[in-house]
Chain A
């Protein structure tokens, strides 16, 4: 039997053939941190006072979580990070407004096929979209890697997800990944790698791959990865980055489990409170009143997502009973959306545009909910208290479902208008 992507990429990094379950030490190609870098700086400095970051060129820092600073305390944290990157000569620093870290990393060319990337953010698994072995770690471990340049992995077993067919009108990659998470469960891929294979992979755009890989963690996955193909080649060609390290599973790789999805059968779905695996067809939720709609995040804040919403909202008015917040995933995506008239359409319809960043997703500032309110969000988590209020409810959907629901302030099936 052949080997999985996880075995092959970790074998290459470890310089020896590794087995599933084995602990290997590797030097990640990049270590991403964000606003939490200020706490990591504190840990770094107390562990190695006056020390230098081992590989400053492998460190990437993006300020995105609470931007612009919501309070003096947040501002002090940001300042600490700016001082640290200056002192340590960290060139890969992206200050507020550049975008959400998981959008920025690929945009600036810091993730490449075959790379190993870790980040002090659970959605670091997003880079699996680009054929990376990418996974989340905590702040302490990030500080450790700044110091030593290396960390350990247990070589995971792999779930293979075979995709065939094509998505129907009004159905998106978000509906696909939510459907998969609903089936696998919040812990169903815990400690495991997930590979996406099958003929339908060739028909997925980069933005679709990112939406899917981004949510791998919501089923517990260590990584969620795609093969490098013509879609990734075009992406990196546009960035003028040669693809040299692409790697993928053998055709006869041995998987712990294989799941098959025919994309023709996927329907618009919603993840209901307070679990991402609490997934039901939109049809069953039609008519439920919502107070806020949030379009954005590392899951669904790209220009394709904004366009999907604008196509529905253009020339219409967002219903007066609901407020709609839009946060582009990055400055580049924001500019693309401006150039295409998408921002104009959304604002004219009544949406409130927030700066490129994580926005209301984590409940630390902008767009917090009041007790008892319901939010329909294109983000990746609907945990209790996630948007700043434990008595609020968060429902997760595609941009299409979010936009069509904005017209009435109640949940609607996007297939009503997209046929």
Chain B
């Protein structure tokens, strides 16, 4: 498991996925190639399932493009841990089924080389030898996350026959 550490605040969606590709890339594999291209050109090659991103305040600000959240979910990123998340990105991550952990304390405590684990059910993130709690999502959002994202959630509702 690798931790990718980007401590700066206001990492925007153009840095996470350049706008010039937004209408020619829409599937996970297409998006993966350009993920974080203008922030960390080595990321797309290096990242593997189960890895974690640790970032600062207002992660994912800017555009409503879902390529960052969709791409990170596609590669099987375990979680993004940040001091705070921009609203549309936060919402988009729930829609994609990507786990976000808002814990400024965990971000603050992290130093290179620390082992990081996340237990979403318990609402705990462990950084090195410290454990931090993070706020749980409201039930409605947890359900979407558990179903693997919004469209899977809707699909399930339709299968059960109680869709709107």
Q: How far apart are A387's CB and chain B's nearest CB, in angstroms?
A: 9
Instruction: Closest A residue to B24 by CB, please name it.
Output: A73
Q: How far is the CA of A20 from the CA of B87 in the complex (A)?
A: 16
Q: Using an 8 Å CB-CB cutoff, how does the interface string of B71-114 with A read, 1 for contact, 0 for none?
A: 00000000000001011100110011000000000000000000
Q: How far is the CA of A390 from the CA of B34 in the complex (A)?
A: 13
Specify which chain B residues have a CB less than 8 angstroms from the CB of A23 in the assembled complex. Answer: 138, 140-141
Specify which chain A residues have a CB less than 8 angstroms from the CB of B22 in the assembled complex. Answer: 36, 65, 362, 364
Residue B132 interfacial (CB < 8 Å): no
Pick out which of these stretches binds chain B: A10-18, A41-49, A283-291.
A41-49
Q: How far is the CA of A388 from the CA of B12 in the complex (A)?
A: 15
Q: Are A148 and B151 in contact (CB under 8 A)?
A: no
Specify which chain A residues have a CB less than 8 angstroms from the CB of B141 in the assembled complex. Answer: 23, 152
Q: Are B64 and A120 in contact (CB under 8 A)?
A: yes
Pick out which of these stretches binds chain B: A90-98, A133-141, A261-269, A292-300.
A133-141
Q: Using an 8 Å CB-CB cutoff, how does the interface string of A162-184 with B read, 1 for contact, 0 for none?
A: 00000000000000000000000
Q: Are A190 and B20 in contact (CB under 8 A)?
A: no
Instruction: Closest A residue to B152 by CB, please name it.
Output: A47
Q: How far is the CA of A71 from the CA of B21 in the complex (A)?
A: 12
Specify which chain A residues have a CB less than 8 angstroms from the CB of B26 in the assembled complex. Answer: 38-39, 42
Specify which chain B residues have a CB less than 8 angstroms from the CB of A54 in the assembled complex. Answer: 164
Chain B: interface size category: 35 or more
Residue B10 interfacial (CB < 8 Å): yes
Given A137-B91, A144-B151, A381-B62, is A275 in contact with B164 using a C-beta cutoff of 8 Å? no
Q: How far is the CA of A275 from the CA of B149 in the complex (A)?
A: 31
Q: Are B88 and A122 in contact (CB under 8 A)?
A: yes
Q: Are A186 and B10 in contact (CB under 8 A)?
A: yes
Q: How far is the CA of A215 from the CA of B151 in the complex (A)?
A: 30
Specify which chain A residues have a CB less than 8 angstroms from the CB of B149 in the assembled complex. Answer: 140
Specify which chain B residues have a CB less than 8 angstroms from the CB of A46 in the assembled complex. Answer: 151
8 Å CB contact of A220 from B58, B65, B91, B155? B58
Q: Using an 8 Å CB-CB cutoff, how does the interface string of A331-364 with B read, 1 for contact, 0 for none?
A: 0000000000000000000000000000000111
Q: How far is the CA of A384 from the CA of B12 in the complex (A)?
A: 9
Given A137-B91, A138-B95, A140-B95, is A187 in contact with B24 using a C-beta cutoff of 8 Å? no
Residue B29 interfacial (CB < 8 Å): no
Q: How far is the CA of A364 from the CA of B23 in the complex (A)?
A: 8
Q: How far apart are A58's CB and chain B's nearest CB, in angstroms?
A: 13
Residue A74 interfacial (CB < 8 Å): yes
Q: How far is the CA of A39 from the CA of B26 in the complex (A)?
A: 7
Instruction: Closest A residue to B93 by CB, please name it.
Output: A138
Q: How far is the CA of A222 from the CA of B90 in the complex (A)?
A: 12
Q: How far apart are A240's CB and chain B's nearest CB, in angstroms?
A: 32
List A235-294 residues whose CB lies under 8 Å from chain B.
275, 277
Q: How far apart are A368's CB and chain B's nearest CB, in angstroms?
A: 8
Q: Are B24 and A71 in contact (CB under 8 A)?
A: yes
Q: How far is the CA of A47 from the CA of B154 in the complex (A)?
A: 8
Q: How far is the CA of A180 from the CA of B96 in the complex (A)?
A: 33
Q: Using an 8 Å CB-CB cutoff, how does the interface string of A51-83 with B read, 1 for contact, 0 for none?
A: 000100000000001100001011001000000
8 Å CB contact of B84 from A65, A152, A190, A363? A190
Instruction: Closest A residue to B137 by CB, please name it.
Output: A23
Q: How far apart are A404's CB and chain B's nearest CB, in angstroms?
A: 28
Residue A112 interfacial (CB < 8 Å): no
Q: How far is the CA of A37 from the CA of B31 in the complex (A)?
A: 17
Q: Are A138 and B66 in contact (CB under 8 A)?
A: yes
List A313-339 residues whose CB lies under 8 Å from chain B.
none
Residue A143 interfacial (CB < 8 Å): yes
Specify which chain A residues have a CB less than 8 angstroms from the CB of B145 in the assembled complex. Answer: none
Q: How far is the CA of A384 from the CA of B18 in the complex (A)?
A: 9
Q: Are A147 and B23 in contact (CB under 8 A)?
A: no
Instruction: Closest B residue to A154 by CB, please name it.
Output: B138
Specify which chain A residues have a CB less than 8 angstroms from the CB of B37 in the assembled complex. Answer: 385
Q: How far apart are B18's CB and chain A's nearest CB, in angstroms?
A: 5
14 CB < 8 A contacts A-B: A74-B24, A122-B88, A136-B88, A137-B91, A138-B64, A138-B69, A138-B91, A140-B95, A148-B164, A190-B58, A217-B88, A275-B10, A385-B15, A388-B19
Inter-chain pairs besides A144-B154, A386-B19, 16 sampled, C-beta below 8 Å? A23-B138, A35-B23, A36-B22, A47-B154, A73-B23, A119-B64, A122-B64, A138-B88, A138-B95, A140-B149, A140-B151, A141-B92, A144-B150, A186-B9, A191-B87, A364-B19
Q: Which residues of A contact B (CB under 8 A)?
A: 23, 25, 35-36, 38-39, 42-43, 46-48, 54, 65-66, 71, 73-74, 77, 119-122, 124, 136-141, 143-144, 147-150, 152, 154, 186-187, 190-191, 217, 220, 222, 275, 277, 362-364, 368, 381, 383-386, 388, 390
Complex A-B, nearest 8 residue pairs according to Cβ-Cβ distance, in ascending order:
A187-B58, A138-B66, A138-B92, A383-B14, A136-B64, A122-B64, A39-B26, A148-B164
